[in-house]
Chains A and B, each alone.
Chain A
């Protein structure tokens, strides 16, 4: 294959002696090397790619004694609340629901780069300008409803990581107004808040 026959093929004829044909002692290794490298590539990729990816999530301490859970007051101009509903529905409002800040009235958004991410990025900028302090960035409150699924939660947490939101929290409290926003039956869930500040 990759070798030209350089040896004298015929030799002199008619010398009378019977010569045994010299066989080439070299074996063509090209095909073997090809195969070996192919297998190496395969095993290398499968060993490193099969490791599952993961996303780290830190939750704050949940004290069973409710009196010890101190409510932290935050500036409503810095908060954005994201409600996750069924059928990939996503509603966000900025500030308080009753008195949203300018342009922050409840609105439906889609997941992905054209939907919520644009909004998050622009709102993040606006908050930074409002506070003028790098340490006081946007606070996002994620409220997954009972009918939202796990993909929604991971998607929105992923957006948080992409947009680099400094503080976000998962809260399970639903007010009746918020439930109405998602158009679900008014089965407001009242549980202890499970906030998630970003470490």
Chain B
């Protein structure tokens, strides 16, 4: 009589693992934010310093080709900033415009022509030539934007706004210096420079 070995199943129960995997997957998908294409893509210089930028309370000044673009994080802060700016320059924006502005990324137009950009569809905004925010001493709108964004942020978040400069690697130093001077005129002496990642050289 032959002794029969009991055959064991080689399959493991994957149900629990599958559950966990999909739970995590759902979490990561939901927390991920879609990346909106940048209006002005810049090539940031690399550095070995690895400090992450904060997610909130941040204004980014993108500098490239001598033009400066402005961006503030947070929808309510953006709205309030636009409100303050429209009061200052006497340019009216409807509620619809304000909502569009809140969900927009960085922009680089004088406030007088901001409405044109807001009226365009998000997909068409890239085609509008944005001349950058005026930053010369006669019409220093950039300083006003920064000032008002700081005010709005303190009002709503009760926190000082942090400023990051995202410059193009090929940008000439005088333009960067001009932006830094504008910041320093407002007594912002501490800010971040956005850089790319570079591995440690040995």
Q: Which residues of A contact B48 (CB under 8 A)?
A: 158, 161-162
- Contacts A33-B21, A46-B32 given; indicate if A150 touches B52 (C-beta within 8 A): no
Annotate B164-193 by CB proximity to A: 1 below 8 A, 0 otherwise.
101111111110110011001101011111
Identify which of B48, B171, B193 gathers the most chain A CB atoms within 10 Å of its CB: B193
Give the docked Cα–Cα distance between A54 and B48 (Å).
Answer: 10
Q: Which residues of A contact B29 (CB under 8 A)?
A: 39, 43
A51 CB contact (under 8 Å) in B21, B52, B166: B52
Q: Which residues of B contact A52 (CB under 8 A)?
A: 44, 52-53, 164, 166, 194-195
Please choose the segment from B5-13, B97-105, B135-143 that sits at the chain A interface, where 4 or more of its residues have CB less than 8 A away.
Answer: B5-13
Q: Which residues of A contact B45 (CB under 8 A)?
A: 150-151, 154-155
Annotate B28-42 by CB proximity to A: 1 below 8 A, 0 otherwise.
110110010000000
- Binding site of A, secondary structure by majority: helix, strand, loop or mixed? mixed
> Is there an interface contact between A145 and B173, defined as CB atoms closer than 8 Å?
yes
B47 CB contact (under 8 Å) in A37, A43, A55: A55
Q: Which residues of B contact A150 (CB under 8 A)?
A: 45, 63, 167-173, 176
Closest A residue by C-beta to B31: A47
> Is there an interface contact between B170 and A149, defined as CB atoms closer than 8 Å?
yes
* Chain B interface residues toward A at CB < 8 A: 7-12, 14-15, 17-18, 21-22, 24-25, 28-29, 31-32, 35, 44-53, 55, 63, 164, 166-174, 176-177, 180-181, 184-185, 187, 189-197, 201-202
Of all A-B residue pairs in the complex, the 8 with the closest CB atoms, nearest first, are: A43-B28, A36-B21, A29-B14, A3-B11, A151-B169, A54-B192, A154-B45, A151-B45
